[in-house]
Chain A
Amino acid sequence: MNPDPARPSPEALLKAAKREARGRLKIILGAAPGVGKTFEMLREGADFLRQGKDVVIGVVETHGRADTDALTTPFEQLPRKTIAHGAHTLTEFDIDAMLARAPQVALIDELAHTNAPGSRHPKRWQDIEELRDAGIDVLTTLNIQHVESLNDVVAGFTKVRVRETVPDALFEDAEIEVVDLPPDELIERLKDGKVYIPAEASRALNHFFSKANLSALRELALRRAAQTVDRQMLDHVRLAGEPGNWAAGERIVVAVGDQPGGEFLVRAAKRLADSMHAPWTALTVETPRSARLSGEARARIASVLKLAASLGATLTTVSAATVIQGLRGYIAEARATAVVTGKSRRSWWFELRHGSIVDQLVRDNEGIAVHVMPMPEGRGEVEQTRGTGRAFGKRGVLLGLAMVALTTAIGLLLLPVVSLNAVDLFYLIPVIATATMFGLRESLIVSLAAALAYNFFFLPPVHTFTIDNPQNVVTFVILAGLGVVSSQLAGRLRSEANVGARTATENAALAAFGQRLAAVSDEVGTAAVTCTEIAGLLDVNAVLLVRKQGRPVVIGAQPESVVLGPIDLTAADWAFERNEPAGRDTATLTASDWQFHPLATSLGVLAVLGIAAPGRSEPLPADKRILFATLLGQAALARERLKLEGEAREVAVLKQRDDLRATLISSLGHDLKTPLTSVLAAADVVVREQPGSEAAATLRAEAQRLARLFDDLVEMTRIEAGAVAVRLEPVDLTDAVTAAVHDLKPALAAHRIKLDVPPALPLVIADPRMLHHMLINLLDNAAKFSPVGSEIILAAQRAPGSLSLSVLDEGAGLPIGRPDDLFERFARGAGSDSTGGAGLGLAIVKGFADALGLTVRALNRDDRPGSRFDIDWPESLIRRVTDVEPA
Chain B
Amino acid sequence: MTPPILIVDDELAIRRLVRGALERSGYTCSEAANAGEALTAARHPGCQLVLLDLGLPDRDGMELITLIKAMDRAVLILTARDATAEKVAALDLGADDYITKPFDTDELLARVRVAMRHRAGTSVDGKLTVGRIEIDIAAHRVTRQGKVIHLTPKEFALLLELARHAGKVLTHRHLLSAIWGEAHLGDVEYLRVTMRGLRQKAEDNAAMPTLLLNEPGIGYRMSID
A binding-site residues for B, Cβ under 8 Å? 669-670, 673-682, 684-685, 688, 703, 707, 711, 727, 729-732, 734-736, 738-739, 742, 755-759, 763, 767-769, 771-772, 879, 881-887
Contacts and interface: CB of A to CB of B under 8 A. Distances in A.
A759 B200 contact: yes
Nearest to A675: B13
B189 A735 contact: no
B217 A769 contact: yes
B180 to A, nearest CB: 9
B141 interface: no
Contacts of B102: 673, 676-677, 679-681, 703, 707
A49 B157 CA distance: 48
B105 A881 contact: no
Contacts of A703: 102
Contacts of B80: 669-670, 673-674, 677
Contact of A738 (B13, B154, B193, B213): B213
B14 A885 contact: no
B28 interface: no
Given A738-B214, A771-B216, A772-B216, A884 B194 contact: yes
Given A670-B80, A677-B14, A739 B192 contact: no
Contact of A885 (B24, B84, B104, B194): B194
Interface stretch (B35-43, B129-137, B202-210): B202-210
B189 A884 contact: yes
A759 B152 contact: no
Contacts of B105: 681, 684-685, 688
Given A669-B82, A738-B214, A882-B193, 18 more contacts: A670-B80, A674-B101, A677-B102, A680-B103, A681-B17, A684-B21, A730-B188, A730-B189, A732-B196, A732-B214, A735-B214, A763-B189, A769-B84, A884-B194, A885-B154, A885-B194, A885-B197, A887-B154
Contacts of A768: 216-217
Interface string B1-30: 000000000010110011011001000000
Contacts of A670: 55, 80-81
A734 B105 CA distance: 27
Contact of B215 (A673, A711, A739): A739
Contact of B14 (A678, A732, A886): A678
B22 to A, nearest CB: 11
B81 A669 contact: yes
21 contacts: A675-B13, A677-B80, A677-B102, A681-B21, A682-B17, A684-B105, A685-B24, A727-B84, A732-B192, A732-B196, A734-B196, A734-B199, A734-B209, A735-B214, A759-B196, A763-B189, A763-B192, A769-B84, A772-B217, A884-B189, A887-B154
Contact of B207 (A759, A881, A886): A759
B206 A755 contact: no
A756 to B, nearest CB: 8
A769 B216 contact: yes
B81 A739 contact: no
Contacts of A684: 21, 104-105
Contacts of B196: 732, 734, 759, 881
Interface string B70-85: 0000000000111011
A733 to B, nearest CB: 10
Given A734-B206, A759-B196, A673 B188 contact: no
Contacts of B11: 674
Given A673-B102, A677-B102, A758 B188 contact: no
A688 B106 CA distance: 10
A714 to B, nearest CB: 9
B121 interface: no
A675 B11 CA distance: 10
Contacts of B13: 674-675, 678
Interface string B47-71: 0000000010000000000000000
A485 to B, nearest CB: 93
Contacts of A742: 213
Contacts of A731: 192
Given A685-B20, A735-B214, A772-B216, A730 B192 contact: yes
B195 interface: yes
A758 B214 CA distance: 17
Given A677-B80, A757-B207, A884 B103 contact: no
A160 B103 CA distance: 82
Interface in B75-99: 80-82, 84-85
Given A669-B80, A670-B80, A739 B214 contact: yes
B126 interface: no
B30 to A, nearest CB: 19
Contacts of B103: 677, 680-681
Nearest to A769: B217
B153 interface: yes
Contacts of A767: 217
Contacts of A732: 192, 195-196, 214
Contact of A884 (B190, B199, B215): B190
Contacts of A674: 11, 13-14, 80, 101
Interface in B95-118: 101-105
A580 to B, nearest CB: 59
Given A730-B189, A735-B192, A881-B193, A677 B217 contact: no
Contacts of B214: 732, 735-736, 738-739
Q: Which of A679, A759, A763 has the most CB of B within 10 A?
A: A759
A711 B80 CA distance: 11
Q: Which of B104, B152, B213, B214 has the most CB of A within 10 A?
A: B214
Pairs of residues from A and B, 8 with the lowest C-beta to C-beta distance, nearest first: A735-B214, A677-B102, A768-B217, A772-B216, A769-B217, A768-B216, A884-B190, A681-B17
A736 B209 CA distance: 11
Given A678-B17, A681-B102, A759-B196, A727 B217 contact: yes
Q: Which of A707, A727, A884 has the most CB of B within 10 A?
A: A884
Contacts of A730: 188-189, 192
A391 to B, nearest CB: 90
Contacts of A685: 20-21, 24, 105
A734 B207 contact: yes
Contacts of B188: 729-730
A189 B7 CA distance: 83
Interface in B171-200: 187-190, 192-197, 199-200
Given A673-B101, A674-B80, A685-B21, A887 B216 contact: no
B141 to A, nearest CB: 18
A549 to B, nearest CB: 45
Contacts of B197: 885
B76 to A, nearest CB: 15
A682 B105 CA distance: 9
A887 B152 contact: yes
A735 to B, nearest CB: 4
B224 to A, nearest CB: 15
Nearest to A884: B190
A30 to B, nearest CB: 48
A758 B207 contact: yes
A665 to B, nearest CB: 11
